[in-house]
Structure 1
């Protein structure tokens, strides 16, 4: 057994707005952990309100990694996250601390936990440009429909506005005659780490109300001004970062394409759908201990449940 195989890794995952941040801070303090952010949007500098990014003061001295590491014009990928995450797990473990992955981006978290091999299909710029032009001419839904024809499972997982990932999935099928979803299905499901995976969930109606309340808070905290500032600094709406929830809707409002009320309704709807996709992804992962953090459960009760799971996995296990 390699040294890497003996590394203990704690993981806290769940949909947006379920309450991962507060629990993660208490758990990190209790177990001497350093947090690795498993969020595909919090890597971007200057994108704070719309990503619900934790502030330095809120971290309470707990080290956090993979936050504010890219400018918005630089696309970030699951492969890059995996590479950086593997290095961080080693470094944190060598310091005598517990690596603790916290987030809601399913592909990122699963690829790191299980050492996914990413497609060897190389970039085909001509094919990508062809798909970009198709999307410009016929729209995002038409491009998404092309993917649904050849890879319905990936189309179900990807939002129609996630043009970069849709084109990459089409590119993989074009080059290899296999689908991205088939590649995911054949991935190694044995982890090189000693994992403790904890998932947070709650009643769907309660979760959706929390999502809507969070978006209202983001608007009150200055989401519109944040998006306006990014646009004024030259970050184009077509960037991967600017296609994130909260940014594309508010950018459309600022461009005069819809009213603010319409943008907020769209953002709330799309965020609810995003949470549903997150839960669907996590439900297909094995070995997750789920905690229902419903409104009736107090923070202390949920914290105690999680500590029991960690004790059983990391301490009581032979």
Structure 2
């Protein structure tokens, strides 16, 4: 018998966290975070990290496991998530991956095989220098020219992975995807739920979330990170909400512009997330636009999940 696994994906601010708690209570579930930013300690407000009170005693994993200057990869996430899935199933609980980082989640549910692509430190340094001189947009354009599929997946600000993709292509002549093979079928007894919402309402929720983050002290959180020796150049500090506030704190843009940039970048990120998730097979979509009757919604989903898991 395959191990059971419930996965809930969707764009930022669509309501994944609240729904996952309701379902975990109904399904005897434990939650594995599928968010590449929530692994970092001290980065709470800008990542919309679930609080202990919001967890309502439901166990959560892969949250607050690294300092902001520690590296983390999809291969590490895959290894840790697979181990947790086995452990949770062994306790006769239901493992639930909940999050919005598509590559991380797909690497687990379709068992990506990460073959070791070659490395060249000198070549990597060359591209780092190129990005420093010409800018990250020019770097991303170079990747678009040789590996458009990977370029579409990687954001311009993800300089580290853009450089890695260029490095792989130059050394092998092959796109990064060639080194990320996946199984045609999931190794799990999988129930994959995708949350969606009418676009204007989703954008309204995103804008409101950013306003709440500012009132909760996002500027102070970023300032504290900088003061504790975590520079804005770190991969973790390039996350949406952090990089814009760093620009404000460095005197490059006014606060009002930083806030509008966070909202705009968050909306664009949500669009990219939806594009990614729509390409996933086996996904069952739930429209959260008019999800007013919470009890009925949760009961209907519980019944659906139970049918998939029997």
What range describes the TM-score normalised by the shorter chain of this pair?
over 0.9
Which residue in 2 is equivalent to 1:276?
A: 271
Q: Does 1:26 align with 2:19?
A: no
Equivalent of 1:263 in 258, 263, 272: 258
Which residue in 2 is equivalent to 1:126?
A: 122
| Segment drifting more, 168-177 vs 221-230 | 168-177
Pairwise CA distance, 1:307: 1.6
2: CA distance, partners of 1:73 / 1:309 = 41
Pairwise CA distance, 1:296: 5.6
Pairwise CA distance, 1:309: 1.9
Whether contact under 8 Å (1:115, 1:192) holds in the other structure is yes
1: CA distance, partners of 2:145 / 2:111 = 29
Q: Does 1:211 align with 2:206?
A: yes
2: CA distance, partners of 1:226 / 1:245 = 14
SS at match of 2:55: coil
Which residue in 1 is equivalent to 2:162?
A: 166
Which residue in 2 is equivalent to 1:117?
A: 113
Which residue in 2 is equivalent to 1:56?
A: 52
Whether contact under 8 Å (2:117, 2:179) holds in the other structure is no
1: CA distance, partners of 2:20 / 2:111 = 23
User: Number of residues paired by the alignment?
Assistant: 310
Deviations 1:159-209 (A, max 9, x none): 11110111111122122211124555x532211111000010001111111
Whether contact under 8 Å (2:26, 2:302) holds in the other structure is no
Which residue in 2 is equivalent to 1:238?
A: 233
Which residue in 2 is equivalent to 1:248?
A: 243
Describe how 1:172-191 pairs up with structure 2 within 5 A.
172-183=168-179, 187-191=182-186
Which residue in 2 is equivalent to 1:288?
A: 283
Whether contact under 8 Å (2:194, 2:286) holds in the other structure is yes
Equivalent of 1:43 in 27, 39, 53: 39
2: CA distance, partners of 1:119 / 1:281 = 23
Which residue in 2 is equivalent to 1:104?
A: 100
Q: Does 1:82 align with 2:78?
A: yes
Pairwise CA distance, 1:120: 1.4
SS at match of 2:43: coil
Describe how 1:127-142 pairs up with structure 2 within 5 A.
127-142=123-138
2: CA distance, partners of 1:309 / 1:175 = 47
Which residue in 1 is equivalent to 2:193?
A: 198
- Mark the runs of 5 or more structure 1 residues left unpaired by the alignment: none
- Mark the runs of 5 or more structure 2 residues left unpaired by the alignment: none
2: CA distance, partners of 1:235 / 1:109 = 27
Pairwise CA distance, 1:299: 2.2
Q: Does 1:11 align with 2:35?
A: no
Pairwise CA distance, 1:276: 0.6
Whether contact under 8 Å (1:15, 1:279) holds in the other structure is yes
Q: Aligned-pair RMSD on alpha carbons?
A: 1.3
Relative to the length of structure 2, the TM-score reads 0.97
